Amino acid sequence: DTEVTQTPKHLVMGMTNKKSLKCEQHMGHRAMYWYKQKAKKPPELMFVYSYEKLSINESVPSRFSPECPNSSLLNLHLHALQPEDSALYLCASSQDRGTAAFFGQGTRLTVV
Amino acid sequence: AQSVTQLGSHVSVSEGALVLLRCNYSSSVPPYLFWYVQYPNQGLQLLLKYTTGATLVKGINGFEAEFKKSETSFHLTKPSAHMSDAAEYFCAVTRRAGYSTLTFGKGTMLLVSP
């Protein structure tokens, strides 16, 4: 099983809403990631969770909040988002940091 | 610091023609190298990777890439393009050791015409 599962596939939310994106992998990988991807651009790293340690891209605003309930799950909590946060959000996992990452299908987020 | 340059934001080929997507990297230490493919509104799929050993790497869907240290390149090729190959392709690099994450190139859109 080389699958990373993301839910939901699509999400529309208002600027005052609170929502969560979920990501799950059962490959025994020890690193999990959240990326943001705008149209016609490469993915931008937001967060890395590896060996129970969270690394944050300092340019990511605090309205995005990651949570790792266990080694197989990675959530991304969203609060008070802006329209410019509309994008494809990708979760990925890898055996270790610096090895090949496997990506989920993404959540298409639209903020209205 | 490491970086990746993909030459050409768009590459157009005819069905059956050779596919060549270029990737050059800059890294202070020998890197790991990857090619990913992304179809519209989907996630990234790993095509192939180079970590160590043979410099010619074969991947899925008939693609292959060759690591050339002297040229700091990792170009992606396929002998005969198929319509289903039309997609965005990303080259990525990461450091061999240490606490590293993927650095992506800007991507190349492959267009395949009948």
Structure confidence by residue, pLDDT tens digits, B18-44 = 999 999 999 877 789 999 999 998 999
- DSSP sequence for A33-89: EEEEE-TTS--EEEEEEETTEEEE-TTS-TTEEEEEEETTEEEEEEES--GGG-EEE
**Which of the 8 DSSP states describes residue B55?**
S
Q: Is A13 on the interface with B (CB under 8 A)?
A: no
Please state, in angstroms and rounded to a whole number, the distance separating the CA atoms of residues B95 and A36: 22
* Residues lower than pLDDT 70 in chain B: 97-99
Q: Is A45 on the interface with B (CB under 8 A)?
A: yes
CB atoms within 10 A of CB A7: 14
Residue pLDDT, tens place only, A26-82: 999 999 999 999 999 999 999 999 888 888 888 999 999 999 998 899 999 999 999
Contact B101 A4 (CB under 8 A): no
Please state, in angstroms and rounded to a whole number, the distance separating the CA atoms of residues B108 and B7: 8
Residues 72-111 of A with CB under 8 A from B: 88, 90, 92, 97-106, 108
B106 CB neighbours in chain A (<8 A) are 41-42
Please state, in angstroms and rounded to a whole number, the distance separating the CA atoms of residues A91 and B39: 16
Contact B45 A103 (CB under 8 A): yes
Please state, in angstroms and rounded to a whole number, the distance separating the CA atoms of residues A42 and A82: 21
CB B58, CB B48: distance < 8 Å: yes
Chain B nearest-CA residue for A104: B43
Which residues face B45 on adjacent strands?
Answer: B37
Write down the pLDDT at residue B99.
63
Contact B46 A101 (CB under 8 A): yes
